[in-house]
Amino acid sequence: MSEFKNKSVLVLGGSRGIGASIVRRFVADGATVTFTYNGSQAAAEQLAAETGSTAVLTDSADRDAVIERVRQSGPLDVLVVNAGYAIFGDALDQDPDEIDKLFRVNVHAPYHASVEAARQMGEGGRIIVIGSVNGDRMPIPGMASYALTKSALQGMARGLARDLGPRGITINVVQPGPIDTDANPENGPMKDLMHSFMAIKRHGRPEEVAAMVAWLAGPEAGFVTGAMHTIDGAFGA
Ligand code: NDP
């Protein structure tokens, strides 16, 4: 496939899981792909070698490093912000520094990366941020900080769509439900509880999320912006 031939794609957080599938998908579709990693150097190098993409070390908790990475990437056709994680446990027991770091990775980095990318993007530019169905529905305790970050992305996309639409750039949020990755393995202890909330009682696959990202990045999605796109087996329904 060559839908993204000659297109420049940057994936923030591409070394593992959903991000790695997004990297593979864009490479398969002909794009020139750069992705960032933080902790998983070996996985990043292996993925880069396998796919011909470029891996670069950038900690999404470091705002200025993220901005610099996006700036150095030049005029992008597609920015995907995937890097993110959750902190579990009673909100009353959590270290505020750890919570602030979560906010830097899950909220500050997507905002600053999106704005920086838009400075150089041309007409037809696409920004896609990986949120979560937990931005809409948080049915269990212990994940308020995570839900907060994913809801924040909704406001960001709605607002930036207004700023970027006149520049010919779209911005959308993809909201997965449970997806089988290191962060949420299908065979983990939460499986039965999570599937009890769902109409399709299985975890999604990273490739299914990557397919939605690819559609949003492609030519058929030029009228789609400021919107949330949930892929969750009806977890949030
Ligand atoms: P994984 O833990 O499997 O992978 C996380 C990816 O993000 C890795 O490539 C990791 O890179 C990168 N990352 C994390 N922190 C940083 C950082 N500080 N700087 C740079 N990169 C970073 O998670 P998933 O693939 O499951 O999740 C990906 C996204 O999807 C997240 O935003 C998550 O919130 C969201 N999501 C996931 C769901 C699921 O069920 N799996 C459901 C809903 C949303 P490295 O290892 O190199 O640090």
- Strand positions, DSSP E, the chain: 8-12, 32-37, 54-57, 78-81, 126-130, 170-176, 227-231
Q: Is the CB of 176 under 6 A from ligand 1?
A: yes
| pLDDT tens by residue, 86-118 | 999 999 999 999 999 999 999 999 999 999 999
Between the CA of 72 and the centroid of ligand 1 the distance, in Å, is 23
* Domain 8-231 class in CATH: alpha beta
Give me 162's structure tokens. 């207004």
Give me 49's structure tokens. 């070698």
Question: Of 46, 36, 166, which is closest to residue 113 (Cα–Cα)?
Answer: 36
Q: Give the pLDDT confidence score for residue 2 in this predicted structure.
A: 82
Q: Which residues pair with 57 in a beta bridge?
A: 37
Note the pTM of the prediction, 2 decimals: 0.98
Q: Is the CB of 18 under 6 A from ligand 1?
A: yes
Looking at residues 174-184, what average pLDDT do you find?
98
d(CA 106, CA 59) in angstroms, rounded, equals: 12
Q: Is the CB of 183 under 6 A from ligand 1?
A: yes
Q: Give the pLDDT confidence score for residue 1 in this predicted structure.
A: 65
Known catalytic residues are 146
Q: At 158, is the pLDDT very low, low, confident or very high (cuts 50, 70, 90)?
A: very high
